[in-house]
Amino acid sequence: MEAARRLQIDLIVASEQPSTFEQARPEGLVTLDFGRIDWSVQRARRVAASYPFQATLGLDDDTVVLATAIENALGRGRNPLEAVVAARDKHLQRTRLAGGSVQVPRYGVHTIGEHVDAVAASLSYPCVVKPVRLSASRGVIRADNPTQLLEAIIRVGAILKSTDDAGECADATLEYLVEEFVPGYEVALEGLLVGGELHVLALFDKPDPLDGPFFEESIYVTPSRHPVSEQTALIECARQAAAALGLREGPIHAELRFNEQGAWLIELAARPIGGRCSAVLRFGDGTISLEEIVLRHALGMSLPSLERERNAAAVMMIPVPGAGVLEEFTGVDDAKRVPGVEDVVITAHRGETLVPWPEGSRYPGFIFARGQTPEEVEHAVREAHHGLRFVLRPASP
C-alpha cells in the first residue's frame, strides 16, 4: 500500500474476510472468495463495471491464481491461467517439468488414506513428504526410512485434515508428494518476467542447511557468495522452469538447490517473496521497493533500475522458539542496536499461540540487516537474534 501511495495509484483491496468499511467504501474494498475462482471472477467483473481498474495483482500463492483468472476474464491476461495454476500446485508443477531440461526431484503423488506400505518399501531414502497445496514449507517432512515415512504421512494427514484455511485446501485435496531428497545447498531467486525474459532481482543464499526433518526457513542473504558459475546455472534453471511452465510476465520466486549434479528446481511460484521479507530488497539508489517494481510492471509503467542496491542485505525469519502461548518477548531494543541491523519486527502478538513447523507456518518476527558484505549482514542478524528472548506458556489443550 505504501508503494501504491508513492506512485499515486488508487487501490481496490480484495480480501477474503470482509473489511468493515466495504459497504461505505465499495470503490476501495471488495470481498472475494479465493477458493471459488469462478464466483470471484464474476464479482470482479461487476466491480470493474462500476469502478474500472487497470490491473489485478495477487501477492500470495492463492491470490495470484485468482488475479490471473480475473485478468484473463477481462481480456488482458499476461500469463496463461494453467501456467499459474501449475506454479501453485506442486504436483502439476512436477508433472510439467518432469522429463524436460529442468532437473527436478523424482516424485510420486499419493492421497491421505491410501495404503503406502508397498510404496514405502520400494522407495530410496532419504525422501521428503510434501503436501501438494500448502505453502511456507508447512507439512514438509524428511524421512530417512520406511518407518519415518509412515510416521510423516500420518502427521501430514493430520495437518491437512486440520487445515481450516479454505484457501489452502480449496479442493479439499489430501494429496501429497513423496519425492527424493535433494542434498546440496539451497538458494532463493527473486525475479521479474518481462515478455518471457527473466530479470534476476536477487539471488539469496540460505546459509543454514535445510536438511530437515522439517524445512522452516531461516536466513536469506544477498548477494550470493556461491561461485559465479553455479549462480549462473541456478539462474538458468529458474529461467527454463518459468518458460516450461508457460509463465511470461510478472514476479517469480524460486527455491533451488545445487549439488554435484548441477542445479535443481525445488519449487517456483508466480508471485513475489512474502510481504515482510520483501523489505530486505531495495533497488536503484536504495529508495525503490520490490512492490514498486511489481506495481509498475503490472500497470505497464516505465520500469526503474532493476539493479539491486550495492549494499549486502539479510533477513532472518525468526525461528519459532517453541510451542505455546507467547507471554512476553525481550531484547528487541538491544537487537536493533547491533551494528548493521536495520530493523527487528516482532509480528507475533502477546497471547498468540506459536506453532513450530511442520504444523505451523508463521514466523514470530523478522530481523533485517544491511551492510557492506554478505558476511557482515549474516553475522548481524545472527547476533541480533542471539539476544532475543521469548517467554511462552503452555497452550490450553
* Interacting residues toward other proteins by CB under 8 A: 1-2, 5, 11, 13, 15, 17, 19-21, 24-25, 27-29, 135-136, 217, 273-277, 285-287, 289, 317, 332-333, 336, 340-343, 345-347, 349-352, 361-363, 370
Name which of 243 and 266 has its Cβ closer to other proteins. 266
d(C-alpha 127, C-alpha 140), whole Å:
11
| Residue 45 or 350 with smaller CB distance to other proteins | 350
Q: How far is the CB of 125 from other proteins (least distance, A)?
A: 30
Tell me whether residue 183 or residue 275 sits nearer to other proteins (CB atom): 275
The DSSP 8-state label assigned to residue 272 in this structure reads: P
Residue (149 or 354) nearer to other proteins, CB: 354
Nearer to other proteins, 219 or 346 (CB): 346
Minimum distance from residue 333 beta carbon to other proteins (Å): 6
Q: Please, is 180 exposed, middle or buried when counting C-beta atoms within 10 Å of its C-beta (0-12, 13-18, 19+)?
A: middle
Give alpha helix (H) positions in the chain: 2-6, 37-50, 61-73, 81-88, 90-97, 117-122, 146-162, 228-245, 290-298, 332-337, 374-386
Which strand (E) or helix (H) includes residue 373? Answer: none
Angstrom distance (rounded) from CA 385 to CA 341: 10
Residue 204, strand partner residues: 188
Number of C-beta neighbours around residue 279 at 10 A: 18
Give min distance, CB of 247 to other proteins, in A.
21
Nearer to other proteins, 65 or 127 (CB): 65
**Considering the complex, what minimum distance in angstroms separates the CB of residue 350 from other proteins?**
5
Smallest separation, CB 65 to other proteins (Å):
17
Place of cell 508397498: 118
Least distance from other proteins to the Cβ atom of residue 17, Å: 7
Minimum CB distance to other proteins smaller for 126 or for 365: 365
Give CA separation, 149 vs 141, 143, 154, 177, in Å.
9, 5, 9, 12
Residue 277 per-residue DSSP state: G
CA distances to 135, 182, 355 from 187, rounded to whole Å, are 17, 13, 25
d(CA 343, CA 222): 17
Give the 3-state secondary structure of residue 197: strand
Q: How many CA atoms are closer than 13 Å to the CA of 85, on its beta-carbon side?
A: 10
Nearer to other proteins by C-beta: 237 or 369?
369
Q: Cβ closer to other proteins: 1 or 121? A: 1
Task: List all residues 6 or more positions away from 383 whose beta carbon is below 8 Å from its beta carbon.
Answer: 338
Residue number, 106 or 350, with CB nearest to other proteins = 350
Q: How far is the CB of 92 from other proteins (least distance, A)?
A: 22
Length of the chain in terms of residues written: 397
**Consecutive H or E run containing 163:** none
Closest to 357 measured CA to CA, from 215, 199, 225: 215
CB 242 to other proteins: min, Å:
21
* 8 Å CB contact between 193 and 247: yes
Q: How far is the CB of 346 from other proteins (least distance, A)?
A: 6
State the nearest-atom distance from the C-beta of 355 to other proteins, in Å: 12
CA distance 330 to 95: 47
Radius of gyration of the chain (CA): 21
User: At its nearest, how many Å lie between other proteins and the CB of residue 365?
Assistant: 9
Nearer to other proteins (CB atom), residue 117 or residue 352? 352
